[in-house]
Structure 1
Amino acid sequence: MFVIIICVAIVVFMPLIAKIPVAIKMSQAGGYDNKYPRKQQATLGGLGERALAAHQNCYEAIAYFAPTVILVMALDEHTVNTVQLSLVFVIARLCYLVCYWANWDKVRSAFWLIGMATIIGHYWLLLA
């Protein structure tokens, strides 16, 4: 269960990792506007715009992953398979970030699909 908890922590804090390039691009665009950061973020293009989308998508990923692993832990169904699925989800999400930043859209979509497949795999195991 320790590995699953670490995976949850990584997923929960992943938006902070994804925010780093956004903050860098905001700083390069005339300085980080702490009074109106969302207004400034809306003007970003290229890497800054993609990094912002990746940052926002990280929050969406929490909404899928967290309830899934909470069910796994609450039902005491953590197994080698659920640990592996959690690890694959985290790795896929990290690769997803890199692909978003690099503008590799098709590869990014493949990593998104892998991540979602792990969520389906968790429910498959829970219902089996």
Structure 2
Amino acid sequence: MNPTMTTAVHFTVAYWCVLAAALLPIVCAGLAKWGEFGRPASQGGYDNHQPRAWLARQAGWRARANAAQANSFEALPFFIGAVIIAQQLGASQAWLDLAAVFFIFLRLAYILCYVADWALIRSVVWTLAFALNIAILFLGYR
């Protein structure tokens, strides 16, 4: 490379959104376990020796937060792939960044709807996020 020519390489907003999407399952897991860390496992508190068994015994909003964690992991590979493919295809960075940010907002809304047990709205939000992910994939298509 010519030393007088430099190319600025930076982490795009869309790439930061990939990081945010990767952290969402951890947020859901923390939410499912919220308030149970201080109680002994013998009294129903969080059991770090058998975390999956403990989560499987949960009901209500804790169980839904755990389900949101699983769905967040499921949505992650497609989002990562869509962002990378769009970037490689030369998508408009502004549009890609905007779409990625909107995807994160939709996923946050999805988690809220799941935990709050707003099933119909949750399904609508999931569908919008999935459709947006498809749109992200094709942003650079020519």
> Fold-level match, TM-score > 0.5?
yes
| Unpaired stretches in structure 2, ≥5 consecutive residues | 1-10
Instruction: Give me the TM-score of the superposition, normalised by structure 2.
Output: 0.81
| Counterpart for residue 4 of structure 1 | 14
Q: Distance in 2 between matches of 1:123 and 1:30?
A: 44
**Higher helix residue share:** 1
Any conservation in 2 of the 1:65–1:119 contact (CA below 8 Å)?
Answer: yes
> In the TM superposition, what is the alpha-carbon distance from 1:92 to its structure 2 partner?
0.2
| Counterpart for residue 14 of structure 1 | 24
> In the TM superposition, what is the alpha-carbon distance from 1:21 to its structure 2 partner?
1.9
How do 1:83-94 residues align onto structure 2 when only pairs under 5 Å count?
83-94=97-108
Secondary structure of the structure 2 residue equivalent to 1:127: coil
Work out the percentage of aligned pairs sharing the same amino acid: 30
Taking only aligned residues, the RMSD between alpha carbons, in angstroms, comes to 1.8
| Unpaired stretches in structure 1, ≥5 consecutive residues | none
| Counterpart for residue 44 of structure 2 | 30
Cα deviations across residues 58-86 of structure 1 (Å, max 9, x unaligned)? 10111110011111223332432222211
Q: Distance in 1 between matches of 2:139 and 2:20?
A: 23
Read off the aligned partner of 1:102 and give its amino acid letter. Answer: A
Any conservation in 1 of the 2:110–2:126 contact (CA below 8 Å)?
Answer: yes
Instruction: Give me the TM-score of the superposition, normalised by structure 1.
Output: 0.89
The number of residues matched between the two structures is 128
Larger radius of gyration: 2
Q: Distance in 2 between matches of 1:45 and 1:125?
A: 40
